[in-house]
Structure 1
Amino acid sequence: MPAFSAEEYERRVENVRAALRERGCDAAVITQPENICYLSGFWTPGYHVFQALVVPARKPPFLVVRNIEVDNVAEKSWIARHHAIDNLDRALDIFAEAMKAEGVDSGTIVMEVDGARQAITRLDLLSELLPNVTWAPDANLVDPFRACKSDGEIAYIRAAVAMAEAALLAGARSLRDARTDSDVAAAVHGELARAGSEFTGSPPYIVAGAASARTHALHARRPIGDRDHVWMEVSASVERYHGAVSRIAGRDLTGEARRHFAASAAAVQAMLAAMRPGVTAGEVDAAGRAAVDRLGLSHLWRNRAAYSLGLSFPPGLGEGHIIDLKPNDPRVLRPGMVFHLIPILKVPGLGAVGCTETVRVTPDGAERLGALPLDALDAEA
């Protein structure tokens, strides 16, 4: 069944329709899997082939999907109207036929495109197939509406954070017997599967020792020394909504590891204290960096402070293209925004050390969506 009520989906679609009418456009073709899911509820891991949600400004929306995905439309989408692609060699031809059958084959139509999938949509071919359409390429029609999450979306994110925290604890406990970082990763993945997490936009990053300082390094059967720490950045997904959290864990964490972790945790606390509606993204970023700078460690924090978190499909986890927190960013925070705070320190010879949290902006400030203490983990966690 769809993840949200028909009323919530209808509100989302009407927001897009109003934006189309304001622009003087007749329809939108939505191709990003996140935005198709956001507006219709339909999703599939098979988004590597052409699929689209068409939202006319004044007619009912409809889906154009691969024929073997029709069952997923029935199960997940509140929009039942659909056209099936029964021959991938003719995907765009069939899409054009569907547009004609629905009477959406003229006027100005927004085509949602992005760098990863533009080759699928091929506006040059569509211009031949639908000669009465003026295409208006756009990648920012739906995204602004996704920035602020509803109570239902927050509930899914909160559930995902709880799964991610349980997986972190499972990873820490595995250190009693684990020989390599792959052993720890097995415990993390196992807990995520037991909890029912869907596949995530980005994999868990479970890396032992100094190798964790390499961005996006993954487990690779690295031996874990008695005083090594293991970097664990874990996400989980519920109805495609993600929660993410990070900690370090070890059997006997060194003083250096704990000192750097405390700096990261202080940055999280400073950003939480600074977050509230009306504050700029840059101000929150500055609050976190000031906490780390007071400890003389600011040179080790090279990444942005946070990115928007919610709906995602591989190859990405976050919604940083919608809003993120970085130095001097003038964009203003609003209630319902959700961020993954990521003050990760990359310490030469030691590795990645950090405390990261998924938080939401409330009308009065900010709220952590998890319950795990802001502490490093040991094998008895």
Structure 2
Amino acid sequence: MSEAPEADTAHRAFPKAEYEARIAKVRDEMRTRGADVLLVDCVEHMAYLFGYVPPAAIYQPALLPLDGDPVVIVRTLDAPTFTEQSWVEDYVSFGDDEDPVTILAAVVQRRGWASRAIAVEFDSHFLPVGRFRAIESALPNVHFIDFSKVIWEIRLIKSEREIAYLREASRIADAALIASIEAAAPGVSERECAAALYATALREGADNGRSALLAAGKRTDSLHGRLGDHRFEKGDILHVESIPLVRGYGARIMRSTVIGAPEEDLARAADILLAAQQAQFDAMKPGAAARDVDGILRRAVLDSRLRETYTNFTGYTLGYIGLPKTSDFTRAFLPDSSWTLEAGMVFHMYTYAQGLAFSDTILVTPTGAERLTRSDRRLFVR
């Protein structure tokens, strides 16, 4: 088993210096937008800036001023977890019989921020309309500034330590995928394949419970289908997407497996998909236009008539994944994508047609694409 990067303590994902560098970038954007304080409650950004991953059961936000230390509002029950995970020393705890919005407003008042400009991530899943209205009501003199998308954009370029976690997640994804495929055989339930994948992922070091998407038989056109009780028969296809997390950083890989020898048209479809996707990988270099990279695969699939339409992305951002989000579309590959690739970006590149699906985790390096998931790129046969 390969080693994940060392942190300051066994429970902290990164050294304090890395968090400080991230905060410096965020503060630059705060100055540009005229914000004195930033309200952070998006779980991905709580982890990214402060190292704390709060459970979603009760609201636990943080306040980051332009100068001085951040302060985190922490549920008393979660305080031991907070002190293990976070480098932040200044926090205010509250009991379950208290309203966290009231606590938040009191902190803002005590710190002298009640008449200042506070930036808010309006795209946060943890700030629904009702909660924001309650914050507005409690802080009537605050000027709120939209800070949506800003930290998502900052997070696009991964540090060496982040890439190390993604490499480890990719290694686990490969091992779990192969375990699932090797469990498949005529008469075996698709649940046995899922069990093999989950057991392998957890043994190898995955720290998430939801480690796979799996479908079999006639249901393989549904990439996000519900696990069923199908028992394999000759000619069936097994679709496996292995999605483990390490320290919250997720890799993804999809492969298809045929039970028995594949028919000629299915083998042809696999060859077309794999070749087109490899050409797409080869084009993934810094400065490449995302629409051009997308078009390589999309045109090949449509021209070969494997699909009549192609409405989905051909790839999207990978990195830290925090519930309730399960995918990050800050950058996604579409025919009209106007952005360009940069070194340090990581993507899940995927394609599917005719019940077959193939994908890999791809790092953009200064010289081109590096495939972090390394399982054989082929149609597996059992």
Fold equivalence (TM over 0.5): yes
The Cα shift of 1:197 comes to 0.6
Matched residue type, 1:325: F
Partners of 2:143 and 2:106 in 1: how far apart? 17
The Cα shift of 1:315 comes to 3.4
Partners of 2:151 and 2:261 in 1: how far apart? 45
* Equivalent residues of 2:207, 2:247 under 8 A apart: yes
After superposition, residues 210-249 of structure 1 pair within 5 angstroms as: 210-249=218-257
Question: Which 5+ residue runs of structure 1 have no aligned equivalent?
Answer: none
Aligned counterpart, 1:65? 74
Matched residue type, 1:106: S
Aligned counterpart, 1:304? 313
- Compared CA separation, residues 225 and 188, structure 1 to 2 (3 A): same
- Compared CA separation, residues 225 and 82, structure 1 to 2 (3 A): same
- Compared CA separation, residues 292 and 72, structure 1 to 2 (3 A): same
* Equivalent residues of 1:266, 1:291 under 8 A apart: no
* Equivalent residues of 1:271, 1:288 under 8 A apart: yes
* RMSD over aligned Cα atoms: 1.9
Partners of 1:161 and 1:225 in 2: how far apart? 30
State the percentage of identical aligned residues: 27
Partners of 1:230 and 1:362 in 2: how far apart? 32
The Cα shift of 1:207 comes to 0.7
Partners of 2:278 and 2:42 in 1: how far apart? 34
- Compared CA separation, residues 69 and 368, structure 1 to 2 (3 A): same
The Cα shift of 1:177 comes to 6.9
* Equivalent residues of 2:213, 2:241 under 8 A apart: yes
- Compared CA separation, residues 282 and 132, structure 1 to 2 (3 A): same
| Stretches of 4+ aligned residues off by more than 6 angstroms | none
Aligned counterpart, 2:96? 87
- Compared CA separation, residues 339 and 169, structure 1 to 2 (3 A): same
3-state SS, counterpart of residue 356 of structure 1: strand
1:36 lines up with 2:79 in the alignment:
no
- Compared CA separation, residues 178 and 80, structure 1 to 2 (3 A): farther
Matched residue type, 1:211: R
Matched residue type, 1:263: I
Aligned counterpart, 1:149? 158
Matched residue type, 2:358: C
1:360 lines up with 2:363 in the alignment:
yes
* Equivalent residues of 1:31, 1:113 under 8 A apart: no
Question: Which 5+ residue runs of structure 2 have no aligned equivalent?
Answer: 1-10
Aligned counterpart, 1:252? 260
Structure-2-length-normalised TM-score? 0.92
The Cα shift of 1:117 comes to 2.9
1:186 lines up with 2:189 in the alignment:
no
Counterpart of 1:337 (choices 345, 349, 366) is 345
Bigger CA drift: 81-90 or 357-366? 81-90
- How many residue pairs match? The answer is 371
Matched residue type, 1:338: V
